[in-house]
Amino acid sequence: MLVGLGLGPGNPELLTLRAVRLLKEADVVFVPGRIAADLVAPYREAVLLTFPMTEDEGRIRTCLEENAEKIAPVALSGLAVFGILGDPNFFSTFSRLCAVIAEKHPGIGFRTEPGISSITAFAAAAGVSVNSGFSVSDGTDAGSRVVLKVRRPQEMAAGLRAEGYRDFVLVERMYFPDMKIYRNEDLPAESDYMSVMYARK
C-alpha cells in the first residue's frame, strides 16, 4: 500500500495527528524535498527523492519512473508513505507518481490522507475570511468545481450538467463514523448540511 500523506503548509505544528501516526507506522517514508524531510524528521528518518522543478516532460517522466521503482518494493510488501507539502490531492506530484507505479505494479493499492492545504492556510495567514463562493486556479482553465453545503445533490448536478459538467462525487459527513460517498447516478435527492460535491467536466 502506498499512502499519499499531506504534511501541511510547512509549519511542523500544522501536521495532523493522523499524519504523525502514519509517519510512525510506515515501513518507509519517502519525501520529495528537504522541507518535507525536515517536517518528518522529529518522527522518523525519510528517504529523500528528487523531483525536478522543470517543464521538461521527458525529464519529469524519467524521474517519476526512477522514484516509482524505489517506492514499489516497499508498497508491495508493506506500508509506504509519501509525505508531501500541502495536500496530496491538490496540485501535487502524488497522482502522477501513482499513475506511473500502476503501469508496472498494478497490485499496489493507493490512498491519500489530507493535510492542511495552502488554500485554507493562506486565509489564516493573511487574516482573510472567505464567506462567499470563490475560485482557485493554477492559471489554467477550470475543469472542475467544488460545492459546499449541498442539500439537494440531484438538483445541483442537473444544473451543473447544463454547464458541461459530467462526473460527480458527493461526500456526506466526511470523516464522521457515518460518512457516505455517492457517485453520479447514485446521488441522493437530499443530503446532510455537511456535504461536499465535486464536479468535473
Task: Evaluate whether 197 touches 188 at the Cβ level (below 8 Å).
Answer: no
Mean pLDDT for 90-106 is 92
Mean pLDDT for 118-144 is 89
The domain limits of the chain are 2-119, 144-200
Is the pLDDT reported for residue 135 higher than 90?
A: no
141: confidence class by pLDDT, cuts 50, 70, 90: confident
Is the pLDDT reported for residue 91 higher than 90?
A: no
Given the candidates 3.90.1150.10, 3.30.950.10, 3.40.1010.10, 2.40.50.180, the CATH classification of the domain at 2-119 is 3.40.1010.10
Residue 115's pLDDT is 95
Is the pLDDT reported for residue 100 higher than 90?
A: yes
Residue 140's pLDDT is 84
d(CA 14, CA 76): 30
For residue 81, give every residue at least 6 positions away whose Cβ sits within 8 Å of its Cβ, in sequence order, or none.
2, 3, 5, 22, 23, 26, 28, 29, 30
Task: Evaluate whether 191 touches 172 at the Cβ level (below 8 Å).
Answer: yes
Encode pLDDT of 34-64 as tens digits. Answer: 999 999 999 999 999 998 888 888 898 999 9
d(CA 182, CA 153): 10
Tracing cell 505544528 back to the chain, one arrives at: 13
Residue 157's pLDDT is 97
Is the pLDDT reported for residue 127 higher than 90?
A: yes
Is the pLDDT reported for residue 142 higher than 90?
A: no
Residue 134's pLDDT is 86
- The residue among 67, 94, 116 whose CA lies nearest residue 4 is 94
d(CA 81, CA 134): 32
Using DSSP bridges, classify how beta strands 28-31 and 80-84 pair: parallel, antiparallel or unpaired: parallel
Mean pLDDT for 87-102 is 92
Average pLDDT of the residues of the chain: 94
